[in-house]
């Protein structure tokens, strides 16, 4: 293209060159469940805005204003939001919640015509996409990025995740969105039954590294009943993960974190430091996250591994490793989207390398990755035919920082200590 004539100075702003890899949001929870919307919306048309819609909650008062107050009768969303916002570390907690209410008080009624959230089915929690393209239930997760600019990274359906169909759907969505899903084992299960549920023919026989299984249920104060009641552990775990993300980073484990609002558990879970036969070891050993209580410690989350353990013995079975890899991959993916359809000059190919490597160095400095991570244009795998076809291969090597899950002390009796202390000859 010929240059236009110009006499005098000029400034030309170039948009090519070094860019910035921005980190994807990790502290985003999606809850699908039921809310008492009839308490704030008095007619059918108004209620439509609160049924099968993505409703963003960033503080507790948002929930009451948009979805109704916490009331009795088994509504799952208000209870879950309260549990999530009650978890805080260094003043950080709650994060962003995408709440999807599937309860329709004009449809879900008991025999007396009274709104009844127990009439909601697992199929309604999972949702569908109708012929007009309208999504409902968990299917609303897929369009979150287009509407909000981010995807949920934690999926929960308290009081419904004991249903195998709901767990399966959450896992399908988690794999597509690079998220994790948290499920509860049913109320009333014994420890032996919980362990057996992971075996052949068991309802929780999964090896998904995106599924986090919680047992038992926990006890927390409910202002509606003015009493301590059993609640799904999943909503409390979601709050712990979010608070850990915000206070420390997604590369930190959500295990061994305090739950200040949990005052008991459904059944006693034994934990004795150094005891291989404790209940906590038995549960963690089959990929179930549980709760631990020690003198003057309160109730704490206990377990680092997803349902991938013990089938998958790689580091990916650690919850924080799976999430760290997801966040690095997604951040790189969003950055690469900006580079798609650019011209393939050597400079452009190297700018991509430089930008991503700068991001990896930042994550190494944050303690999320071990040093030595690298990203480069693969000049061996990419052939001239690939280039002619517009296809370019890059290579990413990362190693998330691991968890100090097991600390072993080798102890020895050393008689030389006695000899030296007492000045003995032998």
Whether 230 and 278 map to the same domain: the answer is: yes
Q: What is the pLDDT of residue 18?
A: 58
CA dist., res. 252 & res. 236, Å (int) = 17
Whether 91 and 164 map to the same domain: the answer is: yes
Angle CA 266–268–274, to nearest 5: 140
The pLDDT tens digits for 205-219 are 999 999 999 999 999
Whether 370 and 230 map to the same domain: the answer is: no
Whether 267 and 308 map to the same domain: the answer is: yes
Q: What is the pLDDT of residue 24?
A: 85
- Global pTM? 0.93
Residue 13 above 70 pLDDT? Answer: no
Residue 224 above 90 pLDDT? Answer: no
Q: What is the mean pLDDT of residues 102-126?
A: 96
Q: How many CA atoms lie within 13 A of 279 on its CB side?
A: 16
Provide the pLDDT confidence category of residue 21 given band limits of 50, 70 and 90. Answer: confident
Residue predicted with more confidence, 268 or 224: 268
Q: What is the mean pLDDT of residues 80-88?
A: 95
Domain with 111 in it: 28-320
Q: What is the pLDDT of residue 315?
A: 95
Domain assignment of residue 18, yes or no: no
Q: How many CA atoms lie within 13 A of 335 on its CB side?
A: 23
The pLDDT tens digits for 125-149 are 999 999 999 999 999 999 999 999 9
Q: How many domains are there within the chain?
A: 2
205-221 burial, b for 16+ CB within 10 Å, e for fewer? ebebbbbbbbbbbbbbe
Domain assignment of residue 127, yes or no: yes
The pLDDT tens digits for 32-74 are 999 999 999 999 999 999 999 999 999 988 999 999 987 767 8
- Phi, psi for residue 69 in degrees, rounded to 5: -75, 165
Whether 227 and 94 map to the same domain: the answer is: yes
CA dist., res. 299 & res. 214, Å (int) = 14
Q: What is the mean pLDDT of residues 23-37?
A: 95
Q: What is the pLDDT of residue 9?
A: 62
DSSP codes of every residue in 343-388: ---HHHHHHHHHHHHHHHHHHHHTTSB-TT-EEEE-TTT--HHHHH
Domain assignment of residue 23, yes or no: no
The pLDDT tens digits for 324-352 are 999 999 999 999 999 999 999 999 999 99
Residue 5 above 80 pLDDT? Answer: no
Ramachandran region, residue 296 (left: φ > 0; alpha: ψ -120 to 50; beta: rest): left
Provide the pLDDT confidence category of residue 1 given band limits of 50, 70 and 90. Answer: very low
């Amino acid at each position: 293209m010929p240059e236009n004539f110009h006499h005098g100075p000029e400034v030309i702003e170039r948009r090519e060159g070094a860019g910035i890899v921005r980190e994807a949001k990790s502290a985003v929870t999606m809850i699908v469940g039921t809310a008492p919307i009839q308490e704030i919306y008095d007619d059918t048309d108004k209620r439509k805005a609160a049924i099968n819609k993505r409703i963003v909650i960033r503080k507790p008062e948002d929930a009451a204003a948009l979805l109704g107050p916490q009331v009795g009768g088994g509504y799952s969303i208000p209870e879950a939001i309260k549990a999530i916002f009650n978890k805080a570390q260094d003043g950080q907690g709650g994060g962003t919640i995408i709440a999807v209410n599937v309860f329709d008080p004009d449809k879900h009624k008991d025999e007396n015509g009274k709104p009844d959230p127990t009439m909601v089915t697992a199929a309604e929690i999972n949702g569908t996409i109708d012929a007009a393209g309208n999504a409902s239930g968990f299917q609303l997760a897929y369009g979150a990025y287009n509407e909000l600019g981010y995807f949920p990274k934690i999926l929960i359906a308290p009081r419904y995740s004991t249903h195998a169909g709901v767990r399966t759907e959450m896992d399908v969505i988690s794999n597509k969105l690079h998220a994790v899903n948290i499920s509860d084992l049913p109320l009333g299960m014994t420890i032996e039954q919980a362990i057996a549920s992971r075996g052949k023919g068991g309802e929780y026989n999964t090896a998904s590294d995106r599924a986090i299984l919680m047992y038992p249920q926990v006890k927390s104060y409910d202002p509606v009943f003015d009493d301590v009641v059993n609640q799904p552990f999943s909503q409390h775990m979601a709050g712990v993960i979010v608070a850990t993300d915000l206070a420390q980073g997604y590369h930190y484990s959500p295990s061994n974190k305090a739950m200040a609002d949990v005052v008991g558990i459904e059944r006693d879970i034994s934990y004795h430091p150094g005891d291989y036969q404790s209940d906590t070891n038995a549960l963690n050993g089959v990929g179930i996250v549980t709760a631990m209580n020690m003198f003057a410690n309160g109730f704490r989350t206990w377990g680092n591994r997803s349902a991938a353990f013990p089938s998958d013995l790689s580091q990916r079975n650690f919850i924080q490793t799976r999430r760290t890899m997801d966040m690095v991959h997604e951040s790189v993916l969003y950055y690469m989207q900006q580079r798609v359809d650019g011209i393939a000059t050597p400079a452009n190919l190297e700018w991509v390398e430089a930008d991503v490597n700068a991001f990896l160095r930042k994550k190494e400095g944050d303690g999320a990755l071990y040093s030595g991570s690298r990203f480069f244009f693969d000049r061996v795998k990419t052939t001239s035919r690939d280039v002619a076809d517009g296809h370019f291969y890059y290579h990413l090597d990362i190693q998330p920082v691991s968890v100090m899950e097991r600390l072993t002390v080798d102890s020895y009796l050393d008689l030389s200590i006695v000899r030296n202390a007492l000045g003995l000859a032998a």
